[in-house]
Structure 1
Amino acid sequence: MGEIFSRIEHSRTSDEAVQQIESLILEGVLRDGDRLPGERELARQLDISRPILRDALKALEARGLIATRHGGGTYVADVTGQIFTPPVMELIASHPKAVADYLDYRRDIEGIAAEHAARRATDDDREMLAQIMDRMAAAHERGDAAEEAAMDVEFHSAVGECAHNIILLHTLRSCYRLLSDGILRNRTMIYDLPGVRESIFDQHRSIHFAIATGEPAGARAAAVAHIDFVRNALAEAERTGDWRRVSRLRLKQRTAD
């Protein structure tokens, strides 16, 4: 982690340190699971005493924003996961109506996020997106489905960050918690269909290009088209899978006869 913390001027209490770390979490700079620098280093970056820093960390831990793990180290707590509890996530994943509603929700909210990102992305944002796309392209070229799927989640999350709307950012992150659990399952189903893998990669490139070139309408249209494609491909994969299941059963029955 680079030096993302700012020097605090003449503070004798922990309040400013608490507020700075809270802001970094709220703005998405610090993410779930990110490790904070060690006490000595963090105190140096903030330019405060270690006792004041300890007070700040205790206050943040009491609020559930950071946690100390066994074996050492202080980490940003899993605050996003509290929006969808594991039992609710399992219910959503196992019910077709909920999955359809999930994709419908993503269609709308990702369209808005991409539109905002095209308007608001900074040079650093565009560099971040370009790096993610490079990694996705490399994984795509070598056929590394797991890495490509991970970059898929990272890309959509980064688009949410580029929208520069705190509420949108955290809403999307809770949504992508479901995506990170379900995307491999969905891709396993739809990748059996001809041309799907290439189409999905091209769709991500289209979203990226519209954001990088500052085209809000184009970015929104590309994001919506991507979710529509995934939804239709998933439905087709389910139909095809059901046909195969029935065909196998017929063959097995007739062979037995």
Structure 2
Amino acid sequence: MSLSFDKFSKRAKLPRASKPVINKITSMIQNGDLKPGDRLPPQDVLADHLGVSRTTLREALKELSFRGLIVCKHGIGTFVSSGLVSDLEVVEARKYVEKGTSYHAARLANTSNAKKLLKLVNTMEKYVVTHEIEEFSLKDFEFHNLIAKLSENRVFQKIMQTFSDLLLTQQILVQRLPGAIERAHSYHRLIAEAIINKNPEMASKNMEEHLEDVHKALLKYYQGGGS
């Protein structure tokens, strides 16, 4: 499924009570405790297990369905989506694509458009201080898509759109890891400054290092070193 980042930015803010439920179920899927095609327990059982109301659980399931992680089949049950791509595969693919988007964005972006990136980075800094992971992740998502747009390459933009649902889910997972949100913010600022200064090589290099850092964090997480 291909989703534009506008769709994410316009959706209603999640009720606070549903966020821990979303994070818990997402972690179970990412860890392999819930596998593609697995059926989730009935809502009353799952709500009791997670210690939340059925209303809160339904809000969480609706968001997880929106992100493409689960499929709700009326009258049958709720299932983990089949064909989920691993996070490490996504990062590997992103590395090749986003080195290119950042390079061409630095080469082609005018000062006004490039400064939109810095504005996003400054907004994200507020969420680093307050440690609001989902809000940071949404702006992170917007940041990477804006770079693709500034590259003026429609193929890059289309590829990033196909990453959309996978990318947001991955970002929320990664930013929960110790120190990840701070490191991501530092890399974003370096990337934005390289694009503003029209330095394609540095923009591409900083993007590659950023995604290498994400890759290492995910490896550590899956090897049992994450939180």
TM-score, reference length from structure 2: 0.61
Deviations 1:59-84 (A, max 9, x none): xxxxxxxxxxxxxxxxxxxxxxxxx9
SS at match of 1:158: helix
- Can you give the 5+ residue segments of structure 2 that lack an aligned partner in the other structure? 11-67, 72-79
The answer as to whether partners of 1:114 and 1:219 remain within 8 angstroms in 2 is yes
The answer as to whether partners of 1:118 and 1:214 remain within 8 angstroms in 2 is yes
**Shift of residue 91 of structure 1?**
4.2
The residue type equivalent to 1:169 in the other structure is Q
Question: Could you say which residue in structure 2 is the equivalent of 1:69?
Answer: none
**Shift of residue 86 of structure 1?**
7.7
**Shift of residue 241 of structure 1?**
4.7
**Shift of residue 33 of structure 1?**
8.1
**Shift of residue 32 of structure 1?**
4.8
**Shift of residue 171 of structure 1?**
1.3
Deviations 1:108-136 (A, max 9, x none): 10000000000011123113212211111
The answer as to whether partners of 1:107 and 1:227 remain within 8 angstroms in 2 is yes
**Shift of residue 92 of structure 1?**
5.2
SS at match of 2:198: coil
The residue type equivalent to 1:211 in the other structure is I
Among 213, 217, 220, the alignment partner of 1:233 is 217
**Shift of residue 237 of structure 1?**
1.8
Question: Could you say which residue in structure 1 is the equivalent of 2:114?
Answer: 126
Matched, 1:165 2:153: yes
Deviations 1:207-231 (A, max 9, x none): 1111111110001111111111101
Structure 2 distance, partners of 1:151, 1:34, is 9
- Larger RCO, structures 1/2 (Cα 8 Å, 6+ apart): 2
The residue type equivalent to 2:211 in the other structure is I
Taking structure 1 as reference, are residues 186 and 33 closer, same or farther at Cα in structure 2, changes over 3 Å only?
closer
Question: Could you say which residue in structure 2 is the equivalent of 1:180?
Answer: 168
Among 110, 113, 116, the alignment partner of 2:101 is 113
Structure 2 distance, partners of 1:34, 1:150, is 7
Taking structure 1 as reference, are residues 124 and 241 closer, same or farther at Cα in structure 2, changes over 3 Å only?
same
The answer as to whether partners of 1:113 and 1:168 remain within 8 angstroms in 2 is yes
Taking structure 1 as reference, are residues 91 and 141 closer, same or farther at Cα in structure 2, changes over 3 Å only?
same
The answer as to whether partners of 1:132 and 1:151 remain within 8 angstroms in 2 is yes
Structure 2 distance, partners of 1:124, 1:178, is 30
Percent identity of equivalent pairs:
19
Among 181, 185, 190, the alignment partner of 1:206 is 190
The answer as to whether partners of 1:92 and 1:99 remain within 8 angstroms in 2 is no
What is the RMSD of the two structures over their aligned residues, measured on CA atoms? 2.9
Deviations 1:112-168 (A, max 9, x none): 000000001112311321221111111112221121111110110111111011121
Taking structure 1 as reference, are residues 197 and 31 closer, same or farther at Cα in structure 2, changes over 3 Å only?
closer
Structure 1 distance, partners of 2:116, 2:164, is 18
Taking structure 1 as reference, are residues 109 and 92 closer, same or farther at Cα in structure 2, changes over 3 Å only?
farther
Structure 2 distance, partners of 1:130, 1:145, is 19
TM-score, reference length from structure 1: 0.55
The answer as to whether partners of 1:129 and 1:208 remain within 8 angstroms in 2 is yes
Among 108, 112, 134, the alignment partner of 1:146 is 134
The residue type equivalent to 1:103 in the other structure is V
Structure 1 distance, partners of 2:9, 2:160, is 18
Structure 2 distance, partners of 1:148, 1:200, is 10
**Shift of residue 85 of structure 1?**
11
- Can you give the 5+ residue segments of structure 1 that lack an aligned partner in the other structure? 1-27, 36-83, 245-257
Structure 2 distance, partners of 1:90, 1:155, is 27
Question: Could you say which residue in structure 2 is the equivalent of 1:215?
Answer: 199
Matched, 1:104 2:88: no
SS at match of 2:152: coil
